[in-house]
Amino acid sequence: MDLFWIFCGGDPQLFYQFVNIPFAFLFCCLARQGHLSIINRYIYLTLGGFILAIVTMGPYSFLLFFSAVLLLLLIHCLHPIHIHQWTLGLQMCWQTCWHLYIQYQLYWLQETPDSRLLLAISALMLMTQRVSSLSLDLQEGKLSSTFPNRSQDQPVLIPFLSYSLAFPALLGGPLYSFKTFVESVKKISVTPPLASYLGNLTSKILQVVLLVWIKYPLKELLKSVIFRVNSTSVCQDILWIWILSLLLKMNYYAHWKISECVNSAAGIGLHGYGHSGKTSWDGLSDGSPWVTEASSRPSVFARQWNRTTAEWLRRMVFKRSNRFPLFMTFGFSAWWHGLHPGQILGFLIWACTVLGDYKLHHFLHPKLTSLWRKWLYVCLNWAFTQLTISCVVICVELQSLASVKLLLSSYISVFPLLSILMIFIL
């Protein structure tokens, strides 16, 4: 365990997800061998989430239990047509109260919040995704085929409770619908051959190890005397900020990939079969780090970054907003993340960058008549995407006004300003 803790760099969320894998593997094995009935599978997943929350979050685990009980009460008492507004509204208010409490500790009391509270807030944000997605499915009538007889509350409420507290998705994504969850639990006993299952799991674990390992040379590079923040050299200054943002992004990629591992170990990650007949386990994924980093446009990067969350935001806000859907979506994302000063600025920059990218692409695309022009556009736009997203990551991840000052004192702040100028010039 000590070796795992050192390997995870003292990151409790990453460490607990590694510990989760054997229990998810045991669940899948028991279900595959027929030792768990459908109802017992739900109980295993729910009890595992209950124990995991108490062990990792201590007294703050009641944040999640309160949300889970509130969801059951709303499902039992409200008509499906009204449930989404109440669920999303109450859940966001509950989550915001705790985000404001963290800000009160940070900026007023000048205290470092308890790590267990931070872990509980992170899990609460993920629960907000699940319960709001579920409530919208109920409102839109997408679950009528899943539960044709809604008069029997007992068998219906148990899957709902399991969906909100299941341990594979408690500490990390990806987000999947309630219907996908129910179908996965039912079909675990008929999953593909063991070789495919173990091969996929091993591959994802190796990817996590690689992502964690990449962080160490990046850290050493930032500590070296070669790079200094606020250097008089423009290239050094920009390169230092870009490497710092890359290090922060590696943290996210490692978390997303280990979460995929836990879900795959539990047998929930099967997407189906490809054209060649091979099994596909990439249906429940927050995106590939390699594909995301290769994005040559800020708008494409936004869709690839934390993919299931991007789809959730698009469904919850973008498609339901009549005015300024792009800014409403990024504004809601800032609210969901906690409304720290750096987060508000970061998501505002991101919204302007995406809007500027749309205008620039619409303006330049008809002029890309030759192959060399297309390649030049792709290369320059990739570099521009990397540098503007670096500003967003620094602001959002560091959260405080210090990140804003760091951004404004760096030459890299020129690139978000260019995106804002594109909005007005083009």
Report, as residue numbers or ranges, the catalytic residues.
306, 337
Cα–Cα distances (Å) from 312 to 81, 132, 133, 302, 305, in that order, read 19, 9, 8, 13, 12
DSSP state for residue 1 in the 8-state scheme: -
Q: What is the CA radius of gyration of the chain?
A: 22
Helix (H, G, I), strand (E, B) or coil at 313: helix
Contact predicate 19/56, CB 8 Å: no
* Amino acid at site 41: R
Residue 273: in which H helix or E strand, if any?
strand 272-273
How many CA atoms within 13 Å lie on the side-chain side of 233? 9
**What is the residue whose two structure tokens read 């899957």?**
159
Separation of alpha carbons 131 and 232, rounded Å = 50
Could you check whether the bond before residue 155 is cis, i.e. omega within 30 degrees of 0? no
Cα four-point dihedral sign 347, 349, 352, 353: negative
Q: What whole-number distance in Å separates Cα of residue 18 and Cα of residue 205?
A: 9
Tell which residue, 419, 425, 424, has the closest CA to residue 356.
419
DSSP state of 426: -
Nearest-5° angle of CA 305, CA 311, CA 315?
150
- Locate 194 and state its tokens: 């063991």
Yes or no: say if 396 and 347 are a contact pair by the CB < 8 Å rule.
yes
If residue 2 lies in a helix (H) or strand (E), which one and from where to where? helix 2-7
What the block records as the tokens of 147 is 């539960």
- 304, two tokens: 């690839």
Q: Are 413 and 394 in contact (CB under 8 A)?
A: no
Exposed, middle or buried, 266 (CB in 10 Å: 0-12/13-18/19+)? buried
CA distance 108 to 119: 21
